[in-house]
Structure 1
Amino acid sequence: MFFDIVITFRFAYDNGVRICAQIFGIVNANDNGVTMNAAQCRMARAALQIGVRELAEAAKVSPSTVARLEAGEELKPRTVDAIRAALEATGVEFIPENGGGAGVRLKIRA
């Protein structure tokens, strides 16, 4: 699961000398709780038999962005969401980590 973590430091001073610090953290999961890792992206593309360029076009991102995701680079959550949504729209279902490992499968077509 991807999280946005914001850490804020608040300092108290006495005559210019820092005497204490407080740390506040805010953690936000992405809205729908569904995430995608690099391996899942590669598996989804392989299942759909599409290339990096085709996925990039469907997600409206550059091919290098897809390549960076698949290499394990951290991208903005909205970029990962756009790539995941494009894969889901073409028939992929993401399987969350449930003790057996995260994965993908093709949706049953009616």
Structure 2
Amino acid sequence: MSGALSRPGPPCAASAFRFVDHQADPRGSPMNSEQCRVARAMLGWSIKQLSREVRVAQRTISEFEMNGQARPETLSRIRSIFVTNGIEFIEDDDGVGLKRRYTFDEYIFRQQLAPQHAGLSIQN
């Protein structure tokens, strides 16, 4: 697995979402410049950090985010880096979006908090 923790159980059959994992489905919809900016922000990465991960010039990332123009191979590498780092590309009939998977540490922390919150009740 690529470092992202998968959630147990099958996806909900009633869900209208189609999760597009570039590594699993290379024919997934292409990433647009807005998704690139948002994915970078979700990871807390600068253009410089992303360019190092993808091994392209900072100018390549900047131009893609401003103009939406980049080579298909470059877009594939950028998207693959995002997926490897827990970003999911989501597509449905209403549009496209992103989702960030919890890191292992975040997942464990949330699991430890769950029993504490289970006994709480709201009083009027």
Query: What percent of counterpart residues are identical?
Result: 30
Structure with higher RCO (Cα < 8 A, 6+ apart): 2
2:74 aligns with 79
More strand per residue: 1 or 2?
Answer: 1
| Unmatched tracts of structure 1, length 5 or more | 1-30
Q: Which stretches in structure 2 are left out of the alignment for 5+ residues?
A: 1-24, 105-124
1:57 maps onto 2:44 in alignment? no
Spell out structure 1 runs of 4+ moving beyond 6 A. none
TM-score normalised by length of structure 2? 0.58
- In structure 1, what residue type is equivalent to 2:101? K
TM-score, scaled to structure 1: 0.65
Q: Is the CA contact 2:88–2:99 (under 8 Å) kept in the aligned structure 1?
A: yes
Q: How does 1:21-60 map to 2 (within 5 A)?
A: 32-34=26-28, 35-60=30-55
Aligned length: 79
More helix by share: 2
Show the counterpart of 1:91: 86
CA RMSD in angstroms, aligned pairs only = 1.5
C-alpha deviation, 1:73, in angstroms: 3.1
Contact 1:56 1:63 (8 Å CA) reproduced: yes
